[in-house]
Structure 1
Amino acid sequence: MSTPDDLHLPDSALRGLGTRPFGVYVHVPFCATRCGYCDFNTYTAGELGSGAAPEDWLEGLRRELDLAARRLGTPPAVDTVFVGGGTPSLLGADGLSAVLNAVRQSFGLAADAEVTTESNPESTSPELFAGIRDAGYTRVSLGMQSAAPHVLRVLDRTHTPGRPVAAAAEARAAGFDHVNLDLIYGTPGERTEDLQASLDAVLEAGVDHVSAYALIVEDGTALARRVRKGEIPIPDDDVLAADYELLDAMLEKAGLRWYEVSNWAASEQARCRHNLGYWLGGDWWGAGPGAHSHVGGVRWWNVKHPARYTATLAEGALPVGGQESLTAEDRHLERVMLELRLADGLPLDALDGDGVREARRAAADGLLSTPDLDGGRAVLTDRGRLLADAVVRRLVS
């Protein structure tokens, strides 16, 4: 385990910096309440000690971004910014504007930069959307999860069912062409008609991007404790598969097509470029408590608690909690795992001989579509998407 500020970026990692997509992820660790399924690095006001208020975090963020730009030597202009959390919208328009200004001042933004913030529908307003649009944000991602009140209760979500649709309309009215809604499917007690109602609400909102994730019961969460006590059942794999097929069919019919296993977009322009940078092996600096970074095959992560984060930066050191250099085998595995999830698929020449032979077998099993097995791409079929992790294991075993 590394100690703070022993980040080592060799020349080999910095070589080519700027020729690959470069993004900045900003982690906002604050939440009004904790959702029962969430295991992200977030804190409510009652869980934070001194030195961890939003204004302290913002000052730490500015210091980290300045140190980051110096550590990278000649930092590239930022192609994408993604402000996540936590609940970034709790910062308000002024706070989110200050975050983007910090990125601008330390790195600079590319002329066509994509700038996204996540938002909880309950902490948004027409004024917030207008303010962040004026500040330079180009994309909003809203946490909807479900339109069914009893499903939201199981998830410990606090927003009212109709608020995400209203928030999406407010964002569009403020000038945002790109708005995403997040869904979670497979929550215990969610019926087919509940998922259909959620999808109907998504389509009513007129957004150009949808992310949908199967509920995962993460260790250490309130939801995991309820499952362990037998209060609610663990999500059923067959139900999850049927739910995925339903939402894929409804979104496809409405003109939103999958481009990654859990993401659908109305056009190529609507795809999330920041996430594509992750999936295609780009570089990014993750700023904020617990944020992860990657540059040229070196990966590192920040200390988690906001108070330690700000204290380390106040001493003039980067708040690095640990780092690793990816081996050639690591990078190969990650490339197969991530690119295969994309609708564009994985170039077959990225596989070794055993991998190509296994791709042929997977195609024969109906899991991959490989129109040109002698130089084309391995693309998941509809059935293959349901078994994506198993297909990856076959190709790299």
Structure 2
Amino acid sequence: MPSALPLGDPAPSDGLLPAQVLDGAAGRALGLYVHIPFCAVRCGYCDFNTYTAKELGGGASQDAYAGTAVAEVELAARVLEASGLPARRLSTVFFGGGTPTLLPAEDLASILTAAIAAWGIEEGAEVTTEANPDSVTPESLAILREAGFTRVSFGMQSAVPHVLKVLDRTHEPARVPQVVQWARDAGLAVSLDLIYGTPGESLADWQHSLETALSYGPDHISAYALIVEEGTKLAAQIRRGEVPEIDDDDHADKYELADRLITDAGLGWYEVSNWARTPEQACRHNLAYWRGDDWWGIGPGAHSHMGGVRWWNVKHPAAYAGRLAQGASPAAGRETLDRDTRAMERVMLEARLQSGLELAALETVGRHEVAGLIADGLVDPAAAFKGRLVLTLKGRLLADAVVRRILPD
């Protein structure tokens, strides 16, 4: 089942934001995240806030969801204006899930149209939707492109049938090149998401998936290590001994193989788990998260962030729809990040980027660790000499350990 929401302070029913969010707002980009909380099948490894028809229960409807999301778009526009924030056009929009393309393309288009009407959109803005390979058609992709979408991220995950089966993915591998071509024909940029470390996946299986994905010529690839979340079907299968445990050494071998093959194919890493064919094809929406920009999250369980204030919506689609039907904010709670927390999160996130982290952002104890990190082969010495902490390949494999060393106790 979906993971629990974080603890926090009560959020006001009118959604108004504290004055803190005004500080420097004009200089921060504004993004929009739209959560589509529906899936045809719940994958065994997934703990996202998504629901199948069986799990959804009464009081919520996929058919009515677009109208409910538009209601939050309109509420968000009123809240930002009433809170005194300067008018800003959207720089990025990202539809995630769940499976956004489980909704009709016309519904996704209507949500985007409402968002553009509310805020406007920057010229050349990035507008992405996630999609399963078996949830799109040439016609639906053409509708999305006409509405203003610029990019589609397909959940390929693997090219190996037995790996897809363990992951409970529903598409056939042969479907992926077909949908990539349909997206290209529609004028959309293409990203492919892959997962490595699935129980039973050999190194040869992973190499086959990488080589297959690269043969489709994507603009962008994300490759994530499988994480077993408590409460998921996969966690229960591992606990019962039905599938093998996750192996950290196996993850490391597969990451190194991914970096070598993806780099050889002409894509460059820009974040530990992400590679793009050109810097312009890096996912700008995710970069906005990692750099601490502002974004509003639409949908049940969606998180938002403005100037160090973070909040999250109620989880269930029925509760979410009910709040908005009453004209109230769907926010369940929020937190105001203090200076130390914001500084810590900056280190945790920017250290993962190829552009690196300014050494000046570190406290004295962290700066003193850099020489040791260079000696251990975890940090690029040339970049450090220029005042930035940039991870080596070995450092990317141990990114969490690097961050622990440079943060104060």
TM-score category, normalised to shorter length: over 0.9
Letter in 2 for 1:395: I
- Superposition pairs for residues 24-35 of structure 1, below 5 Å? 24-35=32-43
C-alpha distance in structure 1 between counterparts of 2:261 and 2:295, whole Å: 34
C-alpha distance in structure 1 between counterparts of 2:322 and 2:18, whole Å: 27
The 3-state SS of whatever aligns with 1:259 is strand
Indicate conservation of the 8 Å contact 2:69/2:299, yes or no: yes
Structure 2 residue aligned with 1:95, among 88, 94, 107?
A: 107
Which residue does the alignment assign to 1:220? Answer: 231
Distance apart, 1:374 and its partner CA: 5.8
Which residue does the alignment assign to 2:151? Answer: 139
C-alpha distance in structure 1 between counterparts of 2:397 and 2:299, whole Å: 34
The worse-fitting range, judged by mean Cα deviation, of 227-236 and 36-45 is: 227-236
Give the direction of change, closer, same or farther, for the CA distance of 1:197–1:373 in structure 2 (3 Å limit): closer
Can you list the C-alpha shifts for 1:200-231, whole angstroms capped at 9, x where unaligned?
A: 21111111100000000001110011011111
Identity %: 56
Which residue does the alignment assign to 1:151? Answer: 163
Structure 2 residue aligned with 1:128, among 116, 137, 140?
A: 140
Say whether 1:16 aligns with 2:31. no
C-alpha distance in structure 1 between counterparts of 2:290 and 2:173, whole Å: 32
Indicate conservation of the 8 Å contact 2:384/2:390, yes or no: no
Which residue does the alignment assign to 2:243? Answer: 232
The 3-state SS of whatever aligns with 1:323 is strand
Can you list the C-alpha shifts for 1:215-264, whole angstroms capped at 9, x where unaligned?
A: 00001110011011111122100000000000110000000111000000
The 3-state SS of whatever aligns with 1:234 is coil
Say whether 1:350 aligns with 2:361. yes
Say whether 1:51 aligns with 2:51. no
Structure 2 residue aligned with 1:76, among 76, 88, 91?
A: 88
- Superposition pairs for residues 237-386 of structure 1, below 5 Å? 237-371=248-382, 373=384, 376-386=387-397
Which residue does the alignment assign to 1:114? Answer: 126
C-alpha distance in structure 2 between counterparts of 1:18 and 1:168, whole Å: 38
The 3-state SS of whatever aligns with 1:32 is coil
C-alpha distance in structure 1 between counterparts of 2:221 and 2:384, whole Å: 32
Over the aligned positions, Cα root-mean-square deviation in angstroms equals 1.3
Distance apart, 1:373 and its partner CA: 4.2
C-alpha distance in structure 1 between counterparts of 2:283 and 2:46, whole Å: 22
C-alpha distance in structure 2 between counterparts of 1:295 and 1:103, whole Å: 17
Runs of 4+ in 1 over 3 A off after TM superposition: 372-375
Structure 2 unaligned spans of 5+: 1-8
Indicate conservation of the 8 Å contact 2:32/2:93, yes or no: yes
The 3-state SS of whatever aligns with 1:368 is coil
Which residue does the alignment assign to 2:44? Answer: 36
What number of residue pairs does the alignment pair up? 396
Indicate conservation of the 8 Å contact 1:212/1:262, yes or no: yes
Structure 1 unaligned spans of 5+: none
Indicate conservation of the 8 Å contact 1:13/1:296, yes or no: yes
Letter in 2 for 1:284: W
Give the direction of change, closer, same or farther, for the CA distance of 1:205–1:344 in structure 2 (3 Å limit): same
The 3-state SS of whatever aligns with 2:354 is coil
Q: TM-score, normalised by structure 2?
A: 0.94
Can you list the C-alpha shifts for 1:145-183, whole angstroms capped at 9, x where unaligned?
A: 00000001111111101212221111011111x210000
C-alpha distance in structure 1 between counterparts of 2:318 and 2:40, whole Å: 18
C-alpha distance in structure 1 between counterparts of 2:249 and 2:169, whole Å: 25
Which residue does the alignment assign to 1:67? Answer: 75
Letter in 2 for 1:22: L
C-alpha distance in structure 2 between counterparts of 1:238 and 1:374, whole Å: 31
Indicate conservation of the 8 Å contact 1:4/1:312, yes or no: no
Indicate conservation of the 8 Å contact 1:30/1:42, yes or no: yes
Which residue does the alignment assign to 1:86? Answer: 98
C-alpha distance in structure 2 between counterparts of 1:49 and 1:4, whole Å: 28
